[in-house]
Structure 1
Amino acid sequence: MSFFASVEMAPGDPILGLTETFVADPSANKINLGVGIYVDEQGRVPMLASVREVEQALATAVRPRGYLPIDGLAAYNRLTRELLFGAESPLLAAGRVATAQTIGGSAALRVAADVLKQVAGAGAKIAISDPSWGNHHVIFRTAGFELLQYRYYDAASHGLDIAGMLEDLSRMEPGTVVLLHACCHNPTGVDPDAAQWQQIIDVLKERQLLPFVDMAYQGFDQGLDADATAIRLLAASGIEAFVVVNSYSKSFSLYGERVGALSMIGSNRDEAARLLSKIKQTIRTIYSSPSTHGAALVAGVLGSAELRDRWELELGGMRTRIHEMRAGLVERLAAHGAPDFGFIQSQAGMFSYSGLSKAQVHRLRDEFAIYALDSGRICVAALNRDNLDTVASAIAAVCR
């Protein structure tokens, strides 16, 4: 008998599985609203001009391909800290932030999970929003955490259940890790405002919970600083320890380069140094060190005042297009006699919890070759001026 005879088939990823089904669909007019990638008006992943300029310079100045340090490119880590916390942040001046370059945001999550599990031991618990990105559950469960949930999305109002969220957090045991989406909540598109963030942080502080902020979409809602409101409020709150992971996949359109980072905040410089040592030890056991190219691209843009300005304009263009697609979808749905979908315009980022049922989603796929997740989550960035009316007409049809 084979050594692997007892291996069971792992469940497929619902998002990647949907994409596979979409690719296999022979329909000439199929539309994929399940994808988690920003695409432009032509349906292409954009190549940012600011990034292209750095890449051309790197190609000209060819260097040996040695290993990066375990924690990655030093300039990348410094510039990441400044982007997340603000260049003048007292946390940075005090040396309280331990940052390491990681292989995308997913590796940042897993490395952080492993480090936190070592600290918390057998009783490690993490509270995750209901709903959340599915990989959050898998990563922390695999790392040995007990998974808890807190109320987040209110289906009736298509908005934030702030009362339920605060009540659930107020019942958590001290030391529980609380996973938070900094902005552009995936999958709902529903975010707290600044006042609600302060309420959340007050409960986290009072209950002695550990905030763990995942920011994959900085700049995709209101702008770089505004989208970091949760992080900036945490930094000013007096909470001595928290965690931030971030990704540049969306904001730099560098999905395949896997550029992310993990930042762990300690109470002082010495604690941050000890945290960095544990981060590096953990990275060494998983992938040893990160790759060079993507980090060099990001650092090249962020480290140049001219290129950073150009990048912010390009990022602003992507953000504006998403806002326009939200408004356009609401307008076209109304024109086709659909129920009120005005809430879509108040949501943030690439994704929207559309309110469509599983049955309606399946009708969209089977009758109109329009693909969305069974939860009703759609990617607003996949809309464009050419398919907007088609999508709105189909959604209106399945709502009748």
Structure 2
Amino acid sequence: MEFLIPSRTARPADDPIFALNAEAQARKKAGETVINATVGALLDDDGKLAVIETVVEALRAVAPEVGAAYAPIAGSPAFLEAVIADLFGSRPEAQQAVAVATPGGSGALRHAITNFLEPQQTLLTTSTYWGPYKTLADESDRNLATFRMLDERGRLDVSDLDKKLQGILDAQGRALVFLNTPCHNPTGYSFDDDDWAGAVEVIDRATARGPVSVLVDVAYAKYAQTSLDGAFDRLKKLSGRAMVLVAWSASKSFTQYGLRVGALVAVCPDAEERRRVQSALVYSCRGTWSNCNAAGMAAISRVLTDPELRERVDRERAALKALLDKRVACWNELAAPAGVKYPRYDGGFFTTVFCAEPQKAAARLREEGIFVVPAQGGLRVALCSVAERDVPRLVDGIRRATAS
């Protein structure tokens, strides 16, 4: 007798990235010299999780009665105000935004999928994407489709975005687009101004065909070479025409992956629409996780709003970014001349090496103690977890494993 509903009987039991990481850890513990480029967290050069200590201090300072209490369903007002200010500062969007707290960026993505698409409708994103986008869509009884991410010049394929977005609107009358930038997971590609100009032009035209929502996943924004201001400058053209959503996360920005603190922010110039969106998102909070981590929100609110603590956090994060930037620079210095094919990459946790047979290439690399994540069309390489001294061996191994 089968008690699971039919659509749930063949679910995979484990995330393949976590399985690869477990194998790498076990082989390292057994004494093997391993390069583990699977971990989606920033590690120092000794392989230990890099942590912003000021955030830890703020967590320890949270009063027990605050951390133990239920947080408001939408999230604490101080936290939501701090997140909106962190994104928009004094920009007009700050006065037009509503937000709810979510368990990390994943919760924000979940709320976007279930509130801006009907069941069985389709989410659109880039052809190379963070795998859980599909998992979140599937779990919510929605589908996922892609447009070609990069054209022959290695730039955002705006033409294919236009084609696929029109097709989705024709098929279902509304659209939700996920754009992960800057420091795209898993390619490391960051939209430049031309990319944003082209994408916004396409989305703006598409709004004449039906409601279009565009979510910008900014989980890695603090590690980018430029701020989000350029993106918001372009996106303001969509004000009142498309729904602009932002998935905000404390996981990478504050090195608190396990705290599960995030937010979904929606920019709504119309006050009545703002009210409806806020109500829908709060209802979704109650119907899924009920409320979020009270201690985490209190600590993150404090480090975002206390000038002295924020300055300390920014300084510590800058040091971690410099550590990562050195790895990225070393990679670029060695990989491009070696003929390794990957997108424009100037910062962030990951890059993706394009190759014809990623599973075979990853298996060859594992044989010599180098762990990367095979994906459709390439290998995801987590520079965030690789010491700079190991980058030459990593590049050389990938060069040989992907040689045609």
Where does residue 100 of structure 2 map in the other structure? Answer: 100
Where does residue 136 of structure 1 map in the other structure? Answer: 133
- For residue 167 of structure 1, report the CA deviation from its aligned partner: 4.2
Where does residue 373 of structure 1 map in the other structure? Answer: 373
- For residue 364 of structure 1, report the CA deviation from its aligned partner: 0.9
- Of 292, 298, 301, the match for 2:303: 301
- Of 41, 46, 49, the match for 1:45: 49
Contact 2:120 2:141 in 1 (8 A): no
Q: Does 1:32 align with 2:36?
A: yes
Deviations 1:229-255 (A, max 9, x none): 334421354344222111110110000
- Of 80, 84, 103, the match for 1:81: 84
Across the aligned residues of Structure 1 and Structure 2, the Cα RMSD in angstroms comes to 2.5
Q: Does 1:364 align with 2:365?
A: yes
Deviations 1:144-185 (A, max 9, x none): 33432111035x655533443344345542521111113111
Match runs of 1:124-203 below 5 Å: 124-154=121-151, 159-173=155-169, 175-203=174-202
Where does residue 211 of structure 1 map in the other structure? Answer: 214
Identity %: 25
> TM (normalized to structure 2)?
0.87
- Of 246, 269, 280, the match for 1:244: 246
- For residue 347 of structure 1, report the CA deviation from its aligned partner: 4.3
Deviates more, 1:170-179 or 1:251-260: 170-179
Contact 2:216 2:246 in 1 (8 A): yes
Q: How far apart, CA to CA, are the structure 2 residues paired with 1:124 and 1:390? A: 45
- For residue 78 of structure 1, report the CA deviation from its aligned partner: 0.4
Structure 1 segments unaligned to the other structure (5+ residues): none
The structure-2 alpha-carbon separation of the partners of 1:53 and 1:20, relative to structure 1 and needing over 3 Å to count, comes to closer
Deviations 1:35-87 (A, max 9, x none): 111112222112213213323432xx443521111011111100101111x22
- For residue 90 of structure 1, report the CA deviation from its aligned partner: 1.4
- For residue 101 of structure 1, report the CA deviation from its aligned partner: 0.9
Q: Which amino acid aligns with 2:206?
A: R
Q: Which amino acid aligns with 2:190?
A: D
Structure 1 outlier segments of 4+, above 6 Å: none
- Of 316, 321, 344, the match for 2:318: 316
Match runs of 1:279-358 below 5 Å: 279-333=281-335, 338-339=338-339, 346-356=345-355, 357-358=357-358
Q: Does 1:55 align with 2:59?
A: yes
Contact 1:187 1:351 in 2 (8 A): yes
> TM (normalized to structure 1)?
0.87
Contact 1:182 1:230 in 2 (8 A): no
The structure-2 alpha-carbon separation of the partners of 1:194 and 1:270, relative to structure 1 and needing over 3 Å to count, comes to same
Paired residues, number? 385
Report the secondary structure of 2:93's partner residue: helix
- For residue 92 of structure 1, report the CA deviation from its aligned partner: 2.5
Q: How far apart, CA to CA, are the structure 2 residues paired with 1:2 and 1:161? A: 45
Q: How far apart, CA to CA, are the structure 1 residues paired with 2:322 and 2:204? A: 35
Q: Which amino acid aligns with 2:38?
A: G
- For residue 261 of structure 1, report the CA deviation from its aligned partner: 0.2
Q: How far apart, CA to CA, are the structure 1 residues paired with 2:201 and 2:33? A: 50
Q: How far apart, CA to CA, are the structure 2 residues paired with 1:5 and 1:53? A: 46
Deviates more, 1:314-323 or 1:64-73: 314-323
Structure 2 segments unaligned to the other structure (5+ residues): none
The structure-2 alpha-carbon separation of the partners of 1:330 and 1:123, relative to structure 1 and needing over 3 Å to count, comes to closer
Q: How far apart, CA to CA, are the structure 1 residues paired with 2:240 and 2:352? A: 32
Report the secondary structure of 1:374's partner residue: strand
Match runs of 1:224-239 below 5 Å: 226-227=227-228, 229-239=230-240
Contact 2:345 2:351 in 1 (8 A): no
Q: How far apart, CA to CA, are the structure 1 residues paired with 2:3 and 2:398? A: 50
Q: How far apart, CA to CA, are the structure 2 residues paired with 1:92 and 1:331? A: 40
The structure-2 alpha-carbon separation of the partners of 1:345 and 1:277, relative to structure 1 and needing over 3 Å to count, comes to closer
Contact 1:68 1:291 in 2 (8 A): yes
